[in-house]
Chain A
Amino acid sequence: MGKRTPVVVLSSSDDEDEGGGRRAASRGPSARRARTPATAPAPAWATSGPRKKARRVSIAERGRRRATGPAPSASLKAEFDMLSEDFSECLNDIGMAGSICQTKELWVDKYKPHSSAELAVHKKKVEDVKKWLDEKLKAPKGTFGGWTLVLIGQAGVGKSATVKALASELGVEICEWTAPVPTLWTEHLHANSGLRYISKLEEFENFVEKIRKYSLLSPTSIGSKRKLTIILIDDIPVTSGKVSFARLGKCLTGLIQSTQVPTVISLTQYHKSENNDTAMWNSEELESLLLSAGAHKIAFNPVTINSVKKILVRICKQEGSDLTEELVHQIATSSGGDIRHAIMSLQYYCLNPRRLNSGLATTAILPGLRSSGTLVPRQDSYDHISLIPTPCGRDETLTLFHALGKFLHNKRETYGDVDVDVDSFPLKEKLRRNPLKMDVPEMVLSQAHGKVRTVADFLYENVLDFIDDDAIDDAWTVASYLSEADCLLAGSPISSARWMVNESYESESMTQLIAASVAARGVLFGNSHVSSSRWHTIRSPRVWQIEQSFRSQKDQILRERYDYSSTSGSRNFADLVTEFKPSERWICHRDDMPRSNSLIHNVETSNSEEDEDVIEDW
């Protein structure tokens, strides 16, 4: 009870700054040690402090006054925080609560990188970002353009973390945008209190507008030394449909062209866009738009397994947990280069009661996971046959690979054909197979947690490597079964339409199950002359690459088409390609130009003015 006191005191003084107050009060001894002296903006504060400011860029002054009382400056408040923190720490030392306090934060927050050395991102990328920031911070004001950096990468590769860590190193403040709690649409409709409905896009526009207007008035110039700021835009509003996307695009383009403060926009890339409707959120489109507006781009690759592992091991050591190396490795591998998810999983996996820990270790040891990438399954993975490691990662592919390995290597009992047939039903010699050295295929599949489509694609891509070179009959059989599985998967137009709307789980599940077992069993059955166990890599299906490029091409063409004319009927895509593309070449007098990506940027910059207007009308 006593240790809640500081919270009460604090929260009475700043009623809005809830996050910071709680954090300060509940900070355990260990976290405090990590803190830098109170006068400098401590990293932990850097996350919560500026964010609050960001919400009221223009009214920062007022907010601050409310937070600390009229006269005293920020340093006094910090001092007070320190005092109360010491107080609570003392109480913690008296009481037993140390361990509980330690576990209060998410590890992702707790082990947030504070310096560039701690980042898991590749050194060169960090250097690139740092160089850019340095350059821009020193550059003279008053020039337009070139103040924007776009960070592109998958979720959780450390885009924002890099910026934050670098900012705290350079002693720069970060200004982020946080959308305030909005009015519900229904509230707006039914309440007469004059609540106005503001969409997130509008708020974002307002924010950008403010940045553009007030960027020169530094809102934080309270002390004598004016602090430098970076604007970090992390949370680009979701747009649906062409109109709002165009608005967003216009807004961002304006920002890029007119900002005079270093601005970092972080864009999340999706590598499989089948999950999210492409029309709604098209990061590729946004990316090219930003680039064409003159932003500098740095692409982040997924974090390498080794650096993920290094960080995980470090955290393990600090937490004093005794996870086996294998499990750590497994988490690192299956995270697919997503450091945040890896830490999340680590936290989850460290939750073990002791007995469980040992039990899990035995299951986790088995797969030889020394491979460098997720796409390389190990030869020895099928030596331990009935066990599949606990699936932990965001990435489903790892467990999937064990299943695939089993199907492809097709291990069978070697003893002669003792009565295989239970029905005492004599089969032709050619169709007889020895029993499998594994569980029923359906069981293996259900343990793999993979999607059927993925399984089938992978099997198709890789099965030929595993068939003996001379056994062309086998290849026939396998191919025919796979094609049938594919047909089952695609299913009837009705069921595929149902699948699109992602209706009931049950109705689609049966076709899926059948298709999966036909694919798996077909491969098992057909591949009767397994090639000697050489070392094979399992490739990811080429179909995927083709589909991906198909999507991007399609997007490009559609976009070009809309750039030119807005009198769109709902022409179908084939018409566009066959009629519009050739004629467009005539119109533009650019027939000497190779069809390349650069084309599209040219197009956009040249008519950026008119096409925005056009789309808005439309």
Chain B
Amino acid sequence: MAASSFAPALADAYEIPWVEKYRPTRVADVVGNSDAVARLQVIARDGNMPNLILSGPPGTGKTTSILALAHELLGPSYREAVLELNASDDRGLDVVRNKIKMFAQKKVTLQPGRHKIVILDEADSMTSGAQQALRRTMEIYSNTTRFALACNTSSKIIEPIQSRCAIVRFSRLSDQEILGRLMVAVAAEKVPYVAEGLEAIIFTADGDMRQALNNLQATFSGFRFVNQENVFKVCDQPHPLHVKNMVKNVLDGKFDEACSALKQLYDLGYSPTDIITTLFRVIKNYDMAEYLKLELLKETGFAHMRICDGVGSFLQLSGLLAKFALVRETAKAS
């Protein structure tokens, strides 16, 4: 109580992460994956949630939608009728056998059509033994308890569990969708920005809403202004424009410029992994002839592999550029 009355005063001193602050509380507000979200809305309205597996890359709203769904379904009885376990909780065989089963046997008075919900976040990190133990519980108590599993790759869930669930697939959010949500946060927090800054945030996020919001907040609290420079400083990624220029120089035959650009990047202290990750993203979106793109991607892949092997030297990166140049030479019409 006291905390809430002091909230305005404390707001400057302590800020909760915007990811939490702007986490949608209603299923309808979840951004992207409109088909899946619309169906979840129907569940929220009608009840009788089937067992669900939500799978998709991080930051696409799996956990958010399932939490929102549980809140909408159960309202005030959320506390006693939802069991939420994620990878940080102990979820071994014992817990599945004991805790989840106890919860499934617990009696909670709910509205008709509502069920207790067990939310297993990051379910792909559960051992297959624990998943095996889950499968029977899921079946026996299906008239009182329903399960919602969130995971990155649905194939890491064992087949008997997959068979007992409806699979909802989430895919990466589009840039527009992320932008839309960013604008909400920007407007609410009165963040000063320029359009390029937001663009940069979207680039760094790469379809991950959580990262986008985190980067926005970090930039704002660090510099109080969102422009390209600040964003890339905060996110500590090589500036994609810079990288793009480098690629362009190589393709235009200006190898010296490209090399000096690379040197510059390297001297700024970016690790080869950072540089190559950005390079990959840039090349992926770069408009060039099909053959060139294929070859450049391939070379980038091999360079990445070597860097992952531990050969993360400047030489490797320069060699990569040289290979790009070679590719260009072979491809050029004489």
Q: Which of B70-78, B136-144, B177-185, B217-225 contacts A (4 or more CB under 8 A)?
A: B136-144
Q: Does A522 contact B (CB under 8 A)?
A: yes
In contact, A97 and B102 (Cβ under 8 angstroms): no
Q: Does B255 contact A (CB under 8 A)?
A: no
Nearest residue (CB) in B for A431 is B291
Q: Does A136 contact B (CB under 8 A)?
A: no
In contact, A155 and B308 (Cβ under 8 angstroms): no
Q: Does A433 contact B (CB under 8 A)?
A: yes
Kindly list chain B residues whose C-beta atoms are within 8 Å of the C-beta of A391.
167, 169
In contact, B288 and A422 (Cβ under 8 angstroms): yes
In contact, B297 and A451 (Cβ under 8 angstroms): no
In contact, B143 and A431 (Cβ under 8 angstroms): no
Q: Which of B279-321 contact A (CB under 8 A)?
A: 280, 284, 287-294, 297-298, 300-302, 304-306, 308-310
How many whole Å from A279's CB to the nearest CB in chain B?
11
How many whole Å from B156's CB to the nearest CB in chain A?
6
Q: What are the interface flags for B122-148 relative to A under an 8 Å C-beta threshold, 1 for contact and 0 otherwise?
A: 001100110011011000111110100
Number of residues from A at the complex interface, CB < 8 A: 106
Q: Nearest 7 CB-CB pairs, A to B?
A: A348-B166, A514-B301, A156-B163, A155-B163, A276-B128, A492-B309, A351-B42
Kindly list chain A residues whose C-beta atoms are within 8 Å of the C-beta of B52.
348
Q: Which of B314-334 contact A (CB under 8 A)?
A: 328, 331-334
Kindly list chain A residues whose C-beta atoms are within 8 Å of the C-beta of B292.
425, 427
How many whole Å from A153's CB to the nearest CB in chain B?
11
A426-B332, A427-B333 are known contacts. Are A104 and B301 too (CB-CB below 8 A)? no
Please report the C-alpha to C-alpha distance between residue A323 and residue B312 in the assembled complex, in whole angstroms.
Answer: 55
A344-B165, A494-B308 are known contacts. Are A181 and B284 too (CB-CB below 8 A)? no
Q: What are the interface flags for A269-282 relative to B under an 8 Å C-beta threshold, 1 for contact and 0 otherwise?
A: 01110011100110
Q: Does B26 contact A (CB under 8 A)?
A: no
Please report the C-alpha to C-alpha distance between residue A451 and residue B129 in the assembled complex, in whole angstroms.
Answer: 23
Kindly list chain A residues whose C-beta atoms are within 8 Å of the C-beta of B129.
238, 240, 280-281
Q: Which of B105-113, B191-199, B232-240, B258-266 contacts A (4 or more CB under 8 A)?
A: B105-113
Q: What are the interface flags for A94-135 relative to B under an 8 Å C-beta threshold, 1 for contact and 0 otherwise?
A: 000100110111111100000000000000000000000000
Chain B residues within CB distance 8 Å of chain A = 35, 38-39, 41-43, 46-48, 50-52, 57-58, 93-95, 97-99, 101-102, 105, 107, 109, 112-113, 124-125, 128-129, 132-133, 135-136, 140-144, 146, 152-160, 162-169, 171-172, 251-252, 277, 280, 284, 287-294, 297-298, 300-302, 304-306, 308-310, 328, 331-334
Nearest residue (CB) in B for A493 is B309
Chain A residues within CB distance 8 Å of chain B = 3-4, 11, 18-19, 22-23, 26, 51, 97, 100-101, 103-109, 154-156, 178-179, 181-186, 200, 234-235, 238, 240, 268, 270-272, 275-277, 280-281, 338, 340-341, 344-345, 347-349, 351-353, 356, 360, 390-394, 396, 420-423, 425-429, 431-433, 436, 442, 446-447, 449, 451, 481, 484, 487-488, 491-495, 502, 505-507, 509-511, 513-515, 517-518, 521-522, 524-525
Q: List 28 A-B contacts (CB under 8 A).
A: A11-B107, A19-B141, A19-B144, A22-B143, A103-B46, A105-B143, A106-B51, A181-B101, A200-B133, A234-B136, A240-B129, A275-B159, A276-B158, A277-B128, A281-B128, A344-B51, A353-B38, A423-B251, A425-B289, A427-B291, A429-B333, A433-B290, A488-B302, A491-B308, A510-B277, A511-B308, A521-B290, A521-B293
